[in-house]
Amino acid sequence: MANTYTQIHIQFVFAVKYRKGLIAKEWKERLHQFITGIIQSNNHKMLCINSMPDHIHIFIGMRPTQSISALIQNLKTETNKWIKDQKLSSNFAWQEGYGAFSYSRSHVPNVIRYIENQEQHHKKETFLEEYQKLLKAFEIEFDYQYIFKEPIT
């Protein structure tokens, strides 16, 4: 698009279905690489990605050529298929829904640091606490019944 200039930084957060801890340490880096490939093939810029066993954070510089919902649908569909094709988890699925949070350029380094330090962060705070804190910080109204499901034990 000629003469179109944008600076859009979006953090996506979404969970494994029923928040099962299915993203294994043994293959999470391969998953991150696969997702990075999808992001880049859609002409967006990967800024940071990290996951815990039950959820993922993806931070990108987004081009205005695709909607957020179309990108998330593409990410979830393709990664779900890839995980099954690679025989990494036979019952893997992403939970419905996602969070998408926008940031100004001045916040980029802090968001990257936050995502990179997920392991340490989750020693102090659960995923649900983290997610609700994000929703409240961005003043997003939500209904607790539609927040990501509690993990199945």
Position 105 scores a pLDDT of 96
pTM of the model: 0.88
Q: Look-up: residue for tokens 């990605």? A: 49
List the domains of the chain with CATH numbers: 20-146 (3.30.70.1290)
Distance CA 101, CA 134 (A): 8
pLDDT tens readout for residues 82-97: 999 999 998 999 999 9
Distance CA 48, CA 13 (A): 12
pLDDT tens readout for residues 3-28: 888 899 999 999 999 889 999 999 99
Distance CA 84, CA 149 (A): 22
Distance CA 132, CA 114 (A): 16
Residue 59 has pLDDT above 70, yes or no: yes
pLDDT tens readout for residues 94-149: 999 999 999 999 999 999 999 999 888 788 888 778 888 888 888 888 777 667 66
Q: Give mean pLDDT, residues 27-43.
A: 98
For residue 25, give Cα distances in angstroms to 85, 96, 103: 18, 23, 29
| Residue 39 per-residue DSSP state | H
Contact predicate 55/150, CB 8 Å: no
Position 120 scores a pLDDT of 87
